[in-house]
Amino acid sequence: MIDVSGHDRLLVFGGPYSNLEATRALMAEARRLGIPPQAAICTGDIVAYCAAPEETACLIAEWGCHAIQGNCEQQLAARAPDCACNFAEGSACDRLAKGWYPFADARISDATRAWLGRLPPALTFDFAGLAFRVVHGGVDLVNRWVFASQQDVLAEECAASGAGVTVAGHCGLPFVARSGRRTWFNPGVIGMPANDGTPDVWYGLIAATPAGVVLSTHRLAYDHIAAAGRMRRFGYANGYARALVTGLWPSLEILPASERMATGRRLRARRVSVQRPASGRLQQAVA
């Protein structure tokens, strides 16, 4: 369990994805908001699609925020041959991964690979009278896709988490969803746009209130042209380079029908209040 006492706001974010420009912009945003690294949490996939894997990982490590392993950290630390992203074999995302994953794997230093391997698979903490759990994909399956429209999946994952609020990543889309008394919060990712036709990326805030917390999602503009240009100079995954500029993913194969239909539709920021139980805190997150 990590200690986040003494802070009234936490910054949460997913998927830096080797996007150095976006990572720098997020750190500048944290400074603007007055949020120190001890109150910032990354849901994993620090290294992935974009063109600065070593530089991005080193920047996150030097910043000193809390971070967990995504499937990419696990695979790179193990020197595995692929990203284990849970893309369907032969899909467009699977074919693109055959370009970006070897690119990243070849550019990660031994020291950075060891650091990725030491990151925990999950985190728990108490904040404003609520129990939180941070995971990458699903609670027991790191690369499970969990989307807002999947009520059965959300119910299963929230129950497995056991926390009042579960903070997650992996799917690349920001959302807040409830399942009974529990809440699933995906703040989005900063390394890739959210398929809404804008180049903006997303992060989240968890703010303490007298009654509990407010969970909110936030857009972040950054120098996406420079990030795309860095990728194009190497030419290993041009579909993702285009996505940085167009705001549209190169493939929609992982998306459920509801999320697929929202392609190109500008997302709205969300703000959701979660009250602490009158009897105290919800049960602790499952160990």
Give me the residue spans of the domains in the chain: 9-275
Share of the chain above pLDDT 70, in %: 97
Could you read off the pLDDT of 134-176 as tens digits, one per residue? 999 999 999 999 999 999 999 999 999 999 999 999 999 999 9
Mean pLDDT of 36-47: 98
Q: Is the pLDDT of residue 281 over 50?
A: no
Q: What is the pLDDT of residue 201?
A: 98
Q: Is the pLDDT of residue 185 over 50?
A: yes
Mean pLDDT of 262-284: 83
Mean pLDDT of 4-10: 95
Q: What is the pLDDT of residue 89?
A: 83
Q: What is the pLDDT of residue 279?
A: 63
Mean pLDDT of 13-23: 98
**Cα–Cα distance, 269 to 104 (Å, whole number):** 32
Q: What is the pLDDT of residue 235?
A: 93
Q: Is the pLDDT of residue 284 over 70?
A: no
Q: Is the pLDDT of residue 15 over 60?
A: yes
Could you read off the pLDDT of 198-222 as tens digits, one per residue? 999 999 999 999 999 999 999 999 9
**Cα–Cα distance, 262 to 26 (Å, whole number):** 25
Q: Is the pLDDT of residue 285 over 70?
A: no
Strands (E), the chain: 9-13, 40-42, 66-67, 123-127, 130-134, 165-167, 175-179, 182-186, 201-209, 212-220, 271-275
Q: Is the pLDDT of residue 53 over 90?
A: yes
Mean pLDDT of the chain: 95
Q: Determine whether 16 is exposed, middle or buried from the number of CB atoms within 10 Å of its CB (0-12, 13-18, 19+).
A: buried
9-275 fold: Purple Acid Phosphatase; chain A, domain 2 (3.60.21)
Q: What is the pLDDT of residue 95?
A: 87
Contacts 24+ apart (CB under 8 A), 1-6: 1/123, 1/124, 1/125, 1/126, 2/66, 2/123, 2/124, 2/125, 3/125, 4/38, 4/39, 4/125, 4/126, 4/127
Q: Is the pLDDT of residue 282 over 70?
A: no
The SS3 assignment for 260 reads helix
**Cα–Cα distance, 37 to 222 (Å, whole number):** 20
Q: What is the pLDDT of residue 47?
A: 98
Q: What is the pTM of this model?
A: 0.94
Could you read off the pLDDT of 95-142 as tens digits, one per residue? 888 999 999 999 999 999 999 999 999 999 999 999 999 999 999 999
